[in-house]
Structure 1
């Protein structure tokens, strides 16, 4: 599907459960549409956002397509599609390929922010009236398949508890985010950023959880693409642009600063018209 993640505090979280209270986590929350077209995603965003995005002159934007500067692993099919998108857009737009500010920092910051309080609130919801013992439940499920909680849930809680930041670390993160927000927004003032959503097409169920929430720190390899828009509170449009040999979709994300949503949707419609877009799976 086509998906849109709204930017920092652009859509009310009223009615969303559980409510996100921590300011750093609230910045990462992006409520938006899952749709069959970019046009529909735009329309839904205009309905639910506090304000309709201002029009933007797309021709004044530079498009940064991460290929040589991608730095993190991505499978060959994804890289080939990004290269094709670059060729098409280069006919009408100024294209660059450079690492944006906050790129390397995004995934580690994301992990710390997600682990605030060891995800205590989520753990309490998951365990209900029972004692909160995620490691015990995770081992029960892995060894005996006997836990009432899904192993993916307890894996997330165990990892969050292991990564729980100290007060000193949290204060440092708050300063880093405050400074980084301005740097990223200034950089994206007249730029659109295009990069993969994930390093490969949709893997088997549970694989993403194991790659992202792991004591082995594999999130540092696999999270940077997803984490960038989340960590810096940026709007992002996800467009399916191809598929692998098994028919699994490959998506790219178009990211910019809050206020440039109109430009994001404009370039999204161009890419959608020339590449795969939404396609209903025939069973």
Structure 2
């Protein structure tokens, strides 16, 4: 198999910049957002310059998925027209503002955050290859971080909507446990599964962001760390995906983390997740089922949730605590984290997941969130980090799922991985000429 070369050029992360470098980086991101961000169809709104505030994130340029109330524009929720009333600004935006971060715009998303491929009305482009999906539904957030248009981004994750685009675009992302980042001022999709999440160029930058967005103090673990590889997930994955993830796990093992393989996959939890997602999404957006301004495929998906009764939804929610306990006991055991791919397949071509295409394959679309959904049902934190590249030069993401409250530990392990590798922060191939032309 011929292997396509990948870019070796790198983007700096915020953690590595001097104070002077950060001032220049903010202005550079503003220019890139207006030019490259629009070229990639990843920008919904651009905000005029405001002086950076003082705080631990002073001057850090970030964007928010266009489902958060920013107080500066009405969120579109990925639709053709604004869908939300003028809500008070989301408190997570306030937290970032108080820490000195600069909100420079909002990022495109798929309609109602209910599409994992990233295909949407804006036609957002994967900065690695334009014929490949960028992942969704936090599509623009991942694209803009990957393309160097910002250093961080807010997204949401209901069934993988932060981790999937992180995999497809080659960036780092954290989906915390349920409720760890406030969701006021954000569009709901499935309240029992919804979480806010964060993207960055590196895990070190995620670690800077985490105390600010969560309000929690980071506590490092100095003891020995243990991880389990979910063998059934690797066996069910494309051979290239499994090989890349195993390679990243070997790096962690060489760093001193004890890793063992364990069979099984929480299939029952995955089925219950789909019940909850379909039922709650329909109940939240029932009025849009007959709205002809909404994509027909999405309206069909919403209509499907009408077949889930209230009792079926209640039963799926009632089973959550027992199934989560089984996962922690049977899969994690004494380990700190579970390791598996973000996706079982390589990033697919757009045509494979576009219902309007002759090459559409519904199994491919279903597979995108196959390994991410259950973490939302359990409310467990999960982190996606670049783990290498496939033979087409596309990034591949490793996923780590931790125990309740283990966000800081996940970040610590991801930083350890990135201290020993150079898979993160690469300049994507499609935007390499644009970025090279700046120097």
Q: TM-score range by the shorter chain?
A: 0.7 to 0.9
For the pair 1:250 / 2:414, whether they are aligned, the reply is: no
SS of alignment partner, residue 51 of structure 1:
coil
- 1:71 to 1:241, Cα distance in 2 relative to 1, 3 A: closer
Counterpart of 2:376 (choices 223, 227, 230) is 230
Given that 1:72 and 1:222 are in contact with CA atoms closer than 8 Å, whether structure 2 keeps it comes out as no
Which residue number in structure 1 is paired with residue 221 of structure 2?
Answer: 56
**1:172: how far off?**
2.1
Question: Are the equivalent residues in 1 in contact too, given 2:343–2:371 (CA < 8 A)?
Answer: yes
Aligned to 2:204: 39
Task: Give the aligned partner of residue 249 of structure 2.
Answer: 86
Measure how far apart 1:28 and its partner are.
2.0
Deviation at 1:15, TM superposition (A): 1.6
CA distance in 1, matches of 2:251, 2:381: 23
Distance 2:297 2:351 in 1: 7
Gaps of 5+ in 1: 135-146
SS in structure 1 at match of 2:317: helix
Partner Cα distance (2:212, 2:175) in 1: 14
3-state SS of 1:89 partner: helix
For residues 245 and 30 of structure 1, the distance between their equivalents in structure 2, rounded to whole angstroms, comes to 33
Distance in 1 of aligned mates of 2:209 and 2:402: 19
RCO higher in 1 or 2 (8 Å CA, sep ≥ 6)? 1
Matched residue, 1:204: 349
Q: Is the 8 A contact 1:7 1:233 kept in 2?
A: yes
Residue 199 to residue 261, structure 1, CA distance change in 2 (3 Å): same
SS at match of 2:242: helix
Q: Do structure 1's residue 12 and structure 2's residue 179 form an aligned pair?
A: no
CA distance in structure 2 between the partners assigned to 1:268 and 1:192 by the alignment: 11
With over 3 angstroms needed to count, the CA separation of the structure-2 counterparts of 1:2 and 1:48, relative to structure 1, is same
**Counterpart in the other structure of 1:170:** 313
**What's the secondary structure of 1:116's corresponding residue?**
helix
- Deviation, 1:258, is 2.2
- Are 1:77 and 2:240 an aligned pair? yes
* Deviation digits for residues 186-227 of structure 1 (CA, Å, limit 9, x no counterpart): 5467421111111223223375586xxx9x787875543111
Following TM superposition, by how much is the alpha carbon of 1:118 offset from its aligned partner in structure 2, in angstroms? 6.2
Among residues 291, 294, 305, which one is paired with 1:160 in the alignment? Answer: 305
* Superposed counterparts of 1:264-283, under 5 Å: 264-273=410-419, 274-281=421-428, 282-283=432-433
Aligned to 1:33, the other structure's residue is in SS state strand
Hey, what's the Cα distance between the residues in 2 that align with 1:74 and 1:43? 33
Q: 1:48 to 1:209 in 2, by over 3 A?
A: farther
The superposition leaves residues 149-176 of structure 1 with CA deviations (integer Å, 9 ceiling, x where unpaired) of 3344234324434xx4223322321221
* Contact 2:176–2:380 (CA under 8 A) maintained in structure 1: yes
| Contact 1:72–1:221 (CA under 8 A) maintained in structure 2 | no
Ranges in structure 2 where 5+ consecutive residues have no aligned partner: 1-170, 434-439
- What's the secondary structure of 1:26's corresponding residue? coil
Judging by fraction of residues, say which structure has more helix. Answer: 1
